[in-house]
Amino acid sequence: MDATILGLHHVTAIASDPQRNLDFYTQVLGLRLVKLTVNFDDPTTYHFYFGDAQGRPGTLLTFFPWIGMPQGRQGTGETIAVSFAVPQDALGFWAERLKRREVQVDPITALGGEPGLAFDDPDGMRVELVASKSESRGDTWTGAPVAPEHAIGALHSVTLAEEGYETTARLLTETLGFRLAGQQENRFRYEVAAGGAGTYVDLLCLPDAQPGRMGAGTIHHIAFRAPDDAQQLAWREELVRLRVNVTPVMDRQYFHSIYFREPGGVLFEIATDPPGFAIDEAPERLGTHLKLPPQYERQRAQIEQVVPNLRLPGQR
């Protein structure tokens, strides 16, 4: 098949407090809120999209912030960590910045020898910053509270916890086009396309761990990049041919999506790069107003009464 996965598109997680989540990712980590919308399947809650200045695929971390959502449990059948790439000399800056904000930071060495930092976000989700040799600078947001020379560039990798890794590895390599890029004890790294930061999926084999439980502080799904609709349809046809249960194409307004579960239970998505976040807001205004999909626009008044008021970046 000629269709190609380009790398990671986005990671979507669950939070319990919208304002706390928004403040942490914009004011502490310096990501841009590139779209403020609602969960297309539950318009009573927000959907935040954080990324670089333009919200490019491969830079995006998104959240469903359900107020009062019970704490989840990280375990097998889940994505248990998301990593961002940062400049190679930026780790000292980030260690000090996070320490000043009373965030407990642990030094790590990523598979391949790249140094990094690991910490939990306010809901307990594991986040890593990796000083990547192949780090992509991205399009730095000039309104960020972090200087460009230290700023987060793009996604680096995701870590999936699996009871057994072989069947998931087979899906990655024999179907989705990944290849083994490294191994360290029970961690197996796979990369796709050109390789490097933004293309890595790590499988962590944990046969004695408990299954994960979805809730605040857990990752809902991970998405891979398809360059256009035609290639996404080709992927869907291939998955159907292989008897993988896959959804119809879903219009998420800023990209199109198909979803399926890998053998270990993690929810995968293949999302298109276009049309992007500037279809309903000027690039300089991204994330400054609540944007609703057309099917919910007539319910705007009711939705705005249900979702909590927010202090957006720039309103402080």
pLDDT per residue of the chain (316 residues) written in tens, 0 to 9: 678 999 999 999 999 999 999 999 999 999 999 999 999 999 999 999 999 999 999 999 999 999 999 999 999 999 999 999 999 899 999 999 999 999 999 999 988 899 999 999 999 999 999 998 875 556 778 888 999 999 998 999 999 999 999 999 999 999 999 999 999 999 999 999 999 999 999 999 999 999 999 999 999 999 999 999 999 999 999 999 999 999 999 999 999 999 999 999 999 999 999 999 999 999 999 999 999 999 999 999 999 999 999 999 977 5
Q: What ranges do the domains of the chain cover?
A: 8-306
Which CATH number applies to 8-306: 3.40.50.11810, 1.20.210.10, 3.30.70.20, 3.10.180.10?
3.10.180.10
Distances (CA, A) of 48 to 19, 132, 151, 297: 11, 26, 20, 18
Q: How far apart are CA 158 and CA 199, in angstroms?
A: 9
Cβ 258 vs Cβ 269: under 8 Å: yes
Closest listed residue to residue 89, CA positions, set 148, 142, 30:
148
Cβ 59 vs Cβ 138: under 8 Å: yes
Residue 166's identity, in one-letter code, is: E
Q: How many CB atoms lie within 10 A of CB 225?
A: 24
